[in-house]
């Protein structure tokens, strides 16, 4: 792979990492209509937010925070046992209008740049494919980015991230908010095993709905409704089976 051209524009918004390994790569959208406005915001000391990299819609890559520093992109978040995702992750902000802008498509040039950048980052850190995550995965209910239009399947085909072909949507038994019992416990246990921050209570509560929706937003994008239908559960099982 040829080295990616990266422009540098340092953001003041970063701090010390803890001494945990950097083993998560977290992808975001900016959720703003204008690239330059979003980039300026990430470099504004008043914003108190940043990411290590920014990817323009035309594929231009900007480095904002050195990888050995803790950028401020994840906020309140949880994955596996970690509740300080910023300390152990690299964050990439991808310029896209997001849900506020009606979920515009990600241009090809931008996705190609994201794939190349992610490939370089996972080569520099012990980040396994199943820890290349969406902001919505680590902050379910609070964050929706990079959204259900983000082409995770295309990234995986290029060797970035963990993805399986989602099971087709079909009729059958499903679980939703208000349900409880052993099947809900099993569902929560599978989601937690994958890494989602969910308690195994046996009650399909608001948190469970948010986590199921986050899972769908990443892995079963054609319907994101927080209902654990057969396709959602099958897809989750297949992903778990495919874990190293």
Residues that bind Zn ion (CB under 5 A): 28, 135, 145
User: What is the DSSP secondary structure assignment for residue 47, as one 8-state letter?
Assistant: T
For Zn ion, which is the closer residue by CB, 32 or 233?
32
Least Å distance, CB 135 to Zn ion, is: 3
Buried b (16+ CB within 10 A) or exposed e, 77-113: bbbbebeebbbbbbbbbbbbbbeeeebeebeeebbeb
CB of 210 to Zn ion, least distance (A): 15
- Cβ-based neighbours of 116, under 8 Å, separated by 6 or more: 1, 4
3-class SS of residue 238 = helix
Cβ proximity to Zn ion: between 28 and 70 the closer is 28
CA angle 124, 163, 60 (to 5 degrees): 50
Query: CB 28 → Zn ion: shortest distance, Å?
Result: 3
The nearest distance, CB 221 to Zn ion, in angstroms, is 17
Which residue, 135 or 162, is less far from Zn ion as judged by CB? 135
Residue closer to Zn ion by CB (options 17, 28) is 28
Q: Which of 114, 208, 121 is nearest to 152 (CA)?
A: 114
């Amino acid at each position: 792979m040829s080295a990616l051209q990266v422009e540098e524009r340092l953001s003041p918004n970063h701090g010390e990492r803890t001494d945990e390994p950097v083993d998560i790569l977290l992808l975001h959208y900016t959720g703003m209509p204008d690239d330059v406005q979003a980039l300026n915001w990430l470099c504004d000391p008043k914003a108190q937010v940043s990411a290590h990299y920014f990817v323009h819609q035309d594929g231009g890559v900007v480095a904002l925070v050195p990888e050995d520093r803790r950028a401020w992109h994840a906020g309140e978040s949880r994955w596996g046992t970690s509740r300080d995702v910023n300390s152990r992750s690299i964050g990439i902000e991808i310029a896209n209008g997001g849900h506020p802008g009606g979920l515009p498509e990600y241009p090809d040039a931008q996705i190609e740049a994201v794939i190349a950048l992610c490939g370089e980052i996972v080569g520099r850190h012990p980040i396994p494919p199943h820890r290349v995550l969406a902001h919505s995965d680590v902050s379910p209910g609070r964050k929706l980015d990079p959204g259900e239009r983000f082409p995770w399947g295309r990234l995986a085909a290029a060797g970035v991230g963990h993805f399986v072909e989602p099971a087709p949507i079909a009729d059958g038994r499903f679980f939703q908010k208000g349900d409880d019992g052993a099947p809900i416990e099993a569902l929560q246990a599978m989601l937690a095993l994958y890494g989602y921050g969910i308690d195994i209570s046996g009650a399909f509560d608001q948190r469970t709905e948010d986590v199921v929706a986050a899972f769908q937003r990443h892995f079963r994008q054609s319907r994101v409704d927080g209902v654990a239908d057969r396709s959602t559960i099958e897809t989750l099982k297949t992903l778990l089976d495919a874990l190293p």
